[in-house]
Amino acid sequence: MAQFVKFDKIVPEGKALAHWHDKALFAVGPLPGESAMVRITREKRDWAEGVVRQFAAVASPHRGPAHEDHYLSCSPWQGVDYQYQLELKRGMLAELFGRPGLELPVAEMLPSPRQFGYRNKLEFSLKPDERGRLELAFHERGSFRSLIAATQGCVLGSEAMNAAARAVLERLNELDVADIADTLTVRQSHTHGHVIVVVMVRESAARNWDRLVVSQAAGVAVARKVRHDTYETLWTHGNIELAETFGGVELAYPWDSFFQVNLPGFELALERILTHIQPGTKVVDLYGGAGTIGLPAARIAREVAGVEIVASSVALANRNALSNQLANYQALAALSEKIDPTLLADADAVIVDPPRAGLHKHVIRLLLEARPRQIIYLSCNPVTQVRDIMLLANSYTPGAPTGFDFYPGTLHLESLAVLTLTQ
């Protein structure tokens, strides 16, 4: 059942808060003072979550028209005045870091260089329309099954990416593969403009995949997911590897590798991180991924050790270290919480960029035992970042955080805090 609810504020996680039947109700998308029709998706004794189905006729003065019909699925603050978006995100950080016992001001909330077209990766679901033809789509917010059409693509990607997606989609419809086609992913190199398209299918069926070759994409691939992070490549055409230059290094990566989505936004954070790396020091980069932070840091530090659990990312980081002639960098395949403590024993600085869950409790223990001079903490979830900083507070003094808007139009932000060992 859906009903109109008035929302009061934005909480630190970015969701809007309303009071509904003596409960706290959270939803993604509404602005303070807005009313929206909400479908309750989860209900507990003291709180509930819901999904916006429709906004009231009178919207916030900060909200303008969205650019596309599916905006609630991809960027629920789409159309909201950008300065107001930054104000809300700064407020989220300020509330978290202003808590008793921490009481830190926010140093800056840096905007993304681009508000639209900033994503270098778009992943579309494929759904048949009423005629049985495939169309690009996104999952409706709050649903694993319901899809909403994104016929022209998405404004969060470049027009070149959307054009390539539409062109390959047209060829898929000519091949009549609606029964096996699952998703379509398009990626683009920000540095070189290179666009690739990957079609994921549900079975290893033989088709005339050569028909997918289009002028809008430099490379096309068809693959089947075997497990969560393992794929069987069925067919490729052209160059399906991408490369980016930033932080003084060039990183090449394959179509199925994780990479920073908003590269210009990430470069702003990287610049700040590198100012804290001192020449002649040893740096350990936990949760290091493919070396997007550790490799640029190796251009300054004496030695950098990257730690990453995904074996393909470790191999990629080491390959890129070799191609960039960075002999002082080495990536190791390990869980950050299970590394040999001697790796941290003489580290001058430790960089951490964990997933949304934050630092594992054993990583906290390892850091407190090793006592590196600095901990450089980049977070995609300031809620868990603040939790971790409080756990380190007896030994480390945190500096004022800097926020980065990697994802304009959404409620997400990145936060950088540098912790210095208390003497």
Q: Verify that 301 and 389 share a domain, yes or no.
A: yes
Q: Is 396 within 8 Å of 349 (Cβ atoms)?
A: no
Which of 179, 210, 243 delimits the end of a domain?
Answer: 243
Residue 231: what pLDDT? 85
Q: Verify that 163 and 231 share a domain, yes or no.
A: yes
Q: Verify that 312 and 266 share a domain, yes or no.
A: yes
The pLDDT tens digits of the residues spanning 208-229 come to 999 999 999 999 999 998 877 7
Q: Verify that 146 and 204 share a domain, yes or no.
A: yes
The pLDDT tens digits of the residues spanning 142-171 come to 777 889 999 999 999 999 999 999 999 999
Angstrom distance (rounded) from CA 138 to CA 144: 10
CATH of the domain at 99: 3.40.50.150
Across 40-53, average pLDDT? 93
- Asked if residue 312 belongs to a domain, the reply is yes
What are the structure tokens assigned to 24, written together?
């706290």
Q: Verify that 291 and 410 share a domain, yes or no.
A: yes
Q: Verify that 288 and 414 share a domain, yes or no.
A: yes
- Asked if residue 83 belongs to a domain, the reply is no
Domain of 140 in residue numbering reads as 121-243
Angstrom distance (rounded) from CA 419 to CA 393: 9
Q: Verify that 345 and 284 share a domain, yes or no.
A: yes
Residue-averaged pLDDT of the chain: 95
The pLDDT tens digits of the residues spanning 163-208 come to 999 999 999 999 989 999 999 999 999 999 999 999 999 998 889 9
Q: Verify that 228 and 294 share a domain, yes or no.
A: no
Domain count, the chain: 3
Residue 277 confidence (pLDDT) above 70: yes
Q: Write the CB contacts of 229 (distance below 8 Å, at least 6 apart in sequence).
A: 310
Residue 423: what pLDDT? 73
Enter the pTM of the model: 0.95
- Asked if residue 136 belongs to a domain, the reply is yes
Q: Verify that 273 and 393 share a domain, yes or no.
A: yes
Which of 214, 243, 272 delimits the end of a domain?
Answer: 243
Q: Verify that 312 and 350 share a domain, yes or no.
A: yes
Across 34-56, average pLDDT? 93
Q: Verify that 180 and 328 share a domain, yes or no.
A: no
The pLDDT tens digits of the residues spanning 128-146 come to 998 989 999 999 987 778 8
Angstrom distance (rounded) from CA 408 to CA 71: 12
Segment among 89-93, 309-313, 373-377 with least mean pLDDT: 309-313
CATH of the domain at 28: 2.40.50.140
- Asked if residue 90 belongs to a domain, the reply is no
Residue 1: what pLDDT? 60
CATH of the domain at 188: 2.40.50.1070
Phi then psi for residue 379, to 5 deg, are -130, 140
Q: Verify that 167 and 289 share a domain, yes or no.
A: no
